[in-house]
Amino acid sequence: MPGNSQRLRIGIDVTAAVTQGGGIGRYTRELVRALIRKDDSSYYILFSGKAPKHALVADPIPEASNVEYREFWLSAKWLYRLWYRI
């Protein structure tokens, strides 16, 4: 069994979870919450484009000891473009 220094690091783009109240946003929030509940041996890095000033969803990012959230300075629109251009 790997030690803490060898934890699997999983990155997930949660832009939809932060910027959309329903549909893919809700699906993403529920999927991430379920993953974190079931897997406490991995380390999750959740990231998104710049969130809107007014929150559409209360608590879109789950808090846990194995979760880190990073918000890019790019807007969600530009982050999306960057993903598909690279």
Cβ contact 78:49 at 8 Å: yes
Q: How confident is the model at residue 1 (pLDDT cuts 50, 70, 90)?
A: very low
What is the phi/psi pair of residue 63, to 5°? -100, 130
Nearest to 51 by CA among 9, 86, 19, 5: 19
How far is 51 from 15, CA to CA, in rounded Å?
8
Is the pTM of the predicted complex or chain greater than 0.95? no
| Position with higher pLDDT, 55 vs 44 | 44
